[in-house]
Amino acid sequence: MKCSYCNMQAIAWEPAVRRQYCNNHYAWFIERKVEKTIEKYKLLQGVRKLVIAVSGGKDSVALLRILHKLYDGKIKLLGVTIDLGIDQYSREASMIALKHYKELSIDYICVDLKEEYGFTISYIKMNKRVLRLHRSICSLCGTVKRYVLNKIASEENADAIATGHNMNDLLYQIIASMISGSREDLGKALLKTPSRNGLVSRIKPLAFLSDKQTLLYNMAINSAFFWKSCPYAEQGTLKRDVLDALDSIEHKHPGFKESLLVNFLKLVESTKQATTGIVYKCKRCGMPTNKPDICAFCKLRETLLERIKT
Ligand code: Q46
Ligand code: ZN
Ligand code: ZN
């Protein structure tokens, strides 16, 4: 199989555009796709300093590499990695993120949850029942990651935070928002949320890339990524079933997932519902929260530290 653009051997076939690509042309195809998303949805309008959240996994590594290629020297980039304290898993993943920062000479901040806040995600997982924490470990971990990223971005005066959420993540958020009817869930599916009241804008430049495309992109540019799954990743979830169903439709109708996302975004844009939720200030730490009293992170941290003391 030859590349549709040159004589090199093809490594990927893209059914939606009916073309095959060699390593170089595949990297070019993916970078153009991300650039088009950024331009169409004005993701970097007014952004002079950008935090890039990098876990070391395939999506965040692709995000870092693509944004560096497209915007290094034009926008100030700051990589942020959180060591969640999930034993070996967190250490190995963080090492990969550090390797990329050094290779690309990008400024970065690495936060060790245990050193900085006195607890780890493993501690929460082990003591969830005793602590009467009823949310799933991934939902609690999400609260922690969002809080830490926002705090660093605020302190560093960044204009936005870029995350590696891909098309599957966003499509699942759309469905989750329909199931829960929650405005917060709907907001998570937006490509760009505005900065307001201490909450730093969030952007998702990989919104139109699939899992397979970010994987192949890393392979095409020979970029190392952390491939092991988190030991706490939930198996047999509704999310997995929804994504499998969407993939089977996509297989029969190439382009289905992309048009579902595009049309959903048009619908949200026309209603503007998801961006109008009230943002309060936490009475403990002063950070933004959707709770009128203390934020979910401070509440979680107080519960944990009380328990650790006793
Ligand atoms: S790190 Fe945290 Fe993920 Fe592990 S506990 Fe769940 S959310 S699966 S991306
Ligand atoms: Zn080629
Ligand atoms: Zn707080």
- pLDDT at residue 307, as a whole number: 81
15 CA to centre of ligand 2 in angstroms: 16
Q: Torsion angle of alpha carbons 2, 32, 55, 161, nearest 10°?
A: -170
Pocket test for ligand 1, best of 59, 81, 126, 138 (most atoms within 8 A of CB): 138
Q: Percent of the chain at pLDDT above 90?
A: 76
Q: 272 pLDDT exceeds 70?
A: no
- pLDDT at residue 234, as a whole number: 79
84 CA to centre of ligand 1 in angstroms: 9
Model confidence, pTM: 0.91
Confidence of residue 276 (pLDDT cuts 50, 70, 90): low
Ligand with an atom nearest the CA of residue 147: 3
- Residue in the structure block whose two tokens are 């403990």: 284
160 CA to centre of ligand 3 in angstroms: 20
Ligand with an atom nearest the CA of residue 122: 1
- Residue in the structure block whose two tokens are 């990927």: 12
Per-residue pLDDT of 109-167, as tens digits, reads 999 999 999 999 999 999 988 888 988 999 999 999 999 999 999 999 999 999 999 99
Q: 16 pLDDT exceeds 60?
A: yes
Pocket lined around ligand 1, Cβ cut-off 6 Å: 84, 121, 137-138, 141-142, 230, 232-233
Q: 201 pLDDT exceeds 90?
A: yes
Q: In the chain, what are the domains?
A: 23-277 (3.40.50.620)
Confidence of residue 309 (pLDDT cuts 50, 70, 90): confident
Closest-CA residue to 119 (of 107, 108, 133) = 133
